[in-house]
Amino acid sequence: MSEMRVIGIRVEQPQNQPVLLLRETDGERYLPIWIGQTEATAIALEQQGVEPARPLTHDLIKDLLDAFGHTLLEVRIVDLQAGTFYADLVFEGDVRVSARPSDSVAVALRVGVPIFVEENVLAEAGLVMPDEREDEVEKFKEFLESVSPDDFKATDG
């Protein structure tokens, strides 16, 4: 199992589909996960330090955990089946709640807990970017710095 860090959200063209990009903390593999617009916005807002006027669903989950005195210890992306990723929220006492990875990451960012990915998932879906592609990673980081939550709003059509 590898600890991951959130690189950010990218919008994949031409489908206008958000992609969550994770990278191994002590490695060189990346894990791209295609996610929904709402979750992309929630992750981007948290990364940018933007506090919405009213709590989003992931803020509500954090507030509920605090109110009921439960401690989220970590998030684990545990499986990949037919192109669908599966995650667990891991609480004290090894209590696990299944969740989508996008929701899990959004909550993990708010609570400040580590994100892990099982080795079998990384072996199947992880990507190693060779050194000559480092400039693309830099371009991606520049893109993340210029993107705003409005870029993730759904449009008709």
User: Which one is predicted more confidently, 130 or 119?
Assistant: 119
Predicted local distance difference test score (pLDDT) of residue 15: 80
**Using one digit for the tens of pLDDT, what is the confidence trace for 43-64?**
998 988 888 888 889 999 999 9
Q: What is the pTM of this model?
A: 0.79
| Residue showing tokens 């989508």 | 100
Predicted local distance difference test score (pLDDT) of residue 49: 87
> Collapsing DSSP states into helix, strand and coil, what is residue 48?
helix
Confidence class of residue 151 from pLDDT cuts 50, 70 and 90?
A: low
Over residues 88-107, the mean pLDDT reads 95
Predicted local distance difference test score (pLDDT) of residue 157: 47
Predicted local distance difference test score (pLDDT) of residue 144: 64
Confidence class of residue 147 from pLDDT cuts 50, 70 and 90?
A: low
Stated as kind and residue range, the H or E segment containing 136 is helix 134-146
CA distance 49 to 14: 28
Token duo for residue 22: 């994770």
Predicted local distance difference test score (pLDDT) of residue 145: 64
What is the chain's percent helix, strand, coil content, to nearest 5?
Answer: 40, 35, 25
- Decide if 92 contacts 71 (C-beta within 8 A): yes
